[in-house]
Structure 1
Amino acid sequence: MRYPLILIVIGFNCICATGQVLTGRADGDSRYFEDQFYTGVTYNFIMDLPSEVSQRNLSYGLQAGFIKDIPLDVFRTIALGIGLGYGVNSYYTNLKAVEQTNQITYAVLDESADFKRSKVTTHVLEVPVQLRWRNSTPEEYKFWRIYSGLKMGYVFDGRSKFVSSSTKYSFVNSDVRSFQYGLTLDVGYNTFNIHFYYALSTLFNDGVVDELGDPLRLKPLRVGLIFYIL
């Protein structure tokens, strides 16, 4: 189910970005604004994994939101972007989270273990802040852009899920860090833009360890496509 969903999102983004309404630019207005809405899809890598832990399946992310564009120069090529958005991210590994009385334990599963999926999913309220450069003009709708910045996020739902041939369960994981943040970089031309997110915070709270006593200082690295819409 998750793979068709990702394809549908990509297709929808392409249609929206291609058929965008060019408000404030069609008449050559020099006070135009750029890139107010965004949607995107990413593949989520996990950095700093303990030696026994590995990624499995397709760890993916989806994001959407609104960014207020604030030009900083008279040519409107440099701007500040401040926004609000929503993101959902899944991280699949061979870590099995088990909820017990007053604590959560993490077992490292080997290749012979009977399981289909073990993942952590986060639903995040995001605040992106960007320093933007683009070579657009009031008449030119296809242009290069480089947007760098910081994205802060509040995880309002962090959940662990495990599925095997004999059992299936899900629970709210209190070990997931509530406040997460990282550096972002969006580079591209016209419709398609490459998106990078490099986490500066860990996925879990400080002090969380697996059953072997190894710290779980997992950090996400998200790479994908982002689509900007006026």
Structure 2
Amino acid sequence: MKNLFFIVLFILGFQCVFSQEVQNKAVDSLYKEDHFYIGITYNLLGSIPNDLKQSGFSSGFHLGYIKDMPINQNRNVSIGIGIGYSANSFNQNLLVNKDNSRNFEYSILTDSDTYSKNKFSMHLVELPIEFRWRTSTVANYDFWRIYTGFKLGYVLASTTKHVGDLGAFKYNNVSGFNDFQYGLTLSVGYGTWNLHLYYALNPIFSSDTKINGNKIDINAIKVGLMFYIL
């Protein structure tokens, strides 16, 4: 939480300095809202079976750049296309371990007293595509915005970690995750502060990943704050 506090302070400070510089520039009638973005989310699991449960705080950190392409004369409606990076963790009771043949196997930890940590993490490179509406003008850089769109991500690395009665172990590049993750996005807010929602349209795990013969159809839901920096 301390690191999160300093990240937010840095974002706000950078935004104030940059806004002062922008006001000193000549007015450009062909302005665009190109943005660097930084997001912090609380990560949830959707479509979970009854015996799978989340525990603790699951977080996400997101950053990138979006190119703005206005599509109307007032330049307050546009299409945005960008590139970004996302790191996500999910604390829950889905155990990922290796069997005697060193293959990954999945099971549910039914007793929370038998472990102190159990999570999986993903690092993704992402392609956000947004339809953007805002109340901005050439000279106004504090405005209402509604950005909705689609985000495609490719999993660069996946990690699982467990600490409990079974021991302490960590696996990298775990098989069983869907290489591509995609979903719908929504950012709504004023100025620097914006509420952000991501809802995955496909499962985190591939169709070959199963527990007792049943597919693991859980998907990612991310709720948090998105900061846009001109």
Q: Same fold (TM over 0.5)?
A: yes
Q: Does 1:51 align with 2:50?
A: yes
Alignment of 1:31-42 (within 5 A): 31-42=30-41
User: How many Å separate the matches in 1 of 2:3 and 2:214?
Assistant: 35
Could you tell me whether the CA contact under 8 Å between 1:54 and 1:94 is conserved in 2? yes
- The answer on whether the counterparts of 2:41 and 2:223 sit within 8 Å (CA) in structure 1 is yes
**What stretches of structure 2 of length at least 5 have no aligned partner?**
none
TM-score (norm 2): 0.92
* TM-score of the superposed pair, with normalisation by structure 1: 0.92
CA shift, 1:56, in A, is 0.7
Cα drift, residue 104 of structure 1: 1.5
Distance in 2 of aligned mates of 1:5 and 1:106: 33
Q: CA deviation at 1:102?
A: 5.4
Question: What residue in structure 1 maps to residue 104 of structure 2?
Answer: 104
After superposition, where does 1:20-31 map in structure 2 within 5 Å? 20-21=18-19, 23=22, 26-31=25-30
Pairwise CA distance, 1:27:
2.3
Which residue does the alignment assign to 1:95?
A: 94
CA contact under 8 A between 1:18 and 1:191: conserved in structure 2?
no
State the alpha-carbon separation in 2 of the partners of residues 95 and 111 from structure 1: 11
Distance 1:25 1:66, change over 3 A: farther
| One of 10, 19, 22 as aligned partner of 2:17 | 19
Matched residue type, 2:226: I
Q: After superposition, give the CA deviation of every residue in 1:107-156 in whole Å (9 maximum; x if it has no partner).
A: 21123542111111000000000010011011111100000110000101
Is residue 26–residue 139 contact of structure 1 (8 Å, CA) maintained in 2? Answer: no
Deviation at 1:17, TM superposition (A): 2.9
Instruction: Describe the superposition over 1:56-102 as per-residue Cα deviations: whole angstroms up to 9, x where unpaired.
Output: 11110000001111111111010110000100000110111102335
Alpha-carbon distance between aligned partners in 2 of 1:27 and 1:134, rounded to the nearest angstrom: 21
Match of 1:191 in 2: 192
Aligned length: 227
Q: Which runs of 4+ in 1 moved over 4 A?
A: 21-25
Contact 2:121 2:160 (C-alpha < 8 Å) held by counterparts: yes
Secondary structure of the corresponding residue to residue 6 of structure 1:
helix
Query: Which residue in the other structure is 1:119 paired with?
Result: 119
Opposite residue 82 of structure 1, the aligned amino acid is: I
Does the CA contact (< 8 Å) of 1:10 and 1:41 recur in 2? no
Note if contact 2:197-2:224 (Cα within 8 Å) is conserved in structure 1. Answer: yes
Offset at residue 8 of structure 1 (A) = 3.0
Cα distance in 2, alignment partners of residues 119 and 136 from structure 1: 42
**Percent identity between the aligned chains?**
37
Q: CA RMSD in A?
A: 1.8
Look up the equivalent residue of 2:154 and give its one-letter code.
Y
Residue 160 of structure 2 corresponds to: 160
State the secondary structure of the residue aligned to 1:10.
helix
Using the alignment, how far apart are the partners of 1:60 and 1:29 within structure 2?
39
Q: Is residue 96–residue 106 contact of structure 1 (8 Å, CA) maintained in 2?
A: yes
